[in-house]
Structure 1
């Protein structure tokens, strides 16, 4: 049983490190760039559906939102993603425009992040670009 737990932990660390090394404090990452993935880790997933009438300039400006979020303290890693060309199936939803993923060591950091003035200011500034946002948080 110990071997199974060890392998599960190693797999989670390797996969998370490969996906979530675009930002976060260097202290939270190992020399290989993987993310510390302990019990109680929170994965904060936010999906954005942008307005269909955005100009080319507005489409170019929107990623600045994620740059602003990267400055908010609390998470150990983050990543911006777009829909993958997954085979269409009833259970697949590729209708979103962007996916923001942030990893937090605990709920305490999530609670601080959600109320941080820089987070709120960025959401206020860029909310004119989207029609829908969904947040899905999970705990490891």
Structure 2
């Protein structure tokens, strides 16, 4: 019964276009999104897709995230779209997609940045975006 309620709530949320999809790297099952610790790095990447891309191209772009989340060293991996929050001067919801990754330390994020799968995925899927912003935060 609880599963039915959960699935129903997901269906309601997804129709608003504000659902936040989340995926935890299965290579590190003992680590969860709640395991943020001092010294971990929160890697936040915003994507602005090119104007005029088709629905099929946008769907193909999402394969980019599927490749990235399989790279070792990620503690948690989440994707999302802009939330329909109240407009305010400090809020920028102009991006198309956002990924949020957590790494244990500088060595882990450096390994991810240089990983051949990461570099190949950027090469393959960068044709879909016009702008990317990366913001890294050291958890204190």
CA distance in 2, matches of 1:51, 1:105: 33
Rounded to whole Å, the distance in 2 between the matches of 1:120 and 1:46 is: 15
Residue 7 of structure 1 corresponds to: none
**Distance in structure 2 (CA, Å) of the matches to 1:118 and 1:44:** 17
Unaligned runs of 5+ in 1: 1-18
CA contact (8 A) 1:45 1:102 kept: yes
Secondary structure of 1:58's aligned partner: helix
Q: CA-to-partner distance for each residue in 1:45-76, whole Å, 9 max, x for gaps?
A: 00000011101210111110000101111111
**Normalising by the residue count of structure 1, what TM-score does the alignment of the two structures yield?**
0.80
Secondary structure at the counterpart of residue 135 of structure 1: strand
1:73-92 map, 5 Å: 73-92=72-91
Q: Would the aligned equivalents of 1:113 and 1:119 in 2 still touch at CA under 8 Å?
A: yes
Structure 1 position 109 matched with structure 2 position 112: no
CA offsets 1:93-139 (integer angstroms, 9 cap, x no match): 00000001000011110010000000000111000000000000001
Q: 1:138 to 1:102 in 2, by over 3 A?
A: same
Shift of 1:28: 1.6
Task: Identify unmatched segments of 5+ residues in structure 2.
Answer: 1-19
Q: How far apart, CA to CA, are the structure 2 residues paired with 1:20 and 1:76?
A: 16
The alignment's TM-score, normalised by the length of structure 2, stands at 0.80
Contact 2:22/2:79 (8 A) holds in 1: no
1:48 corresponds in structure 2 to: 47
The answer to whether the aligner puts 1:26 opposite 2:32 as a matched pair is: no
TM superposition outliers: structure 1 runs of 4+ over 4 Å: none
Change (3 A) 1:75 1:20: farther
| CA drift at 1:21 | 5.8
Shift of 1:20: 9.2
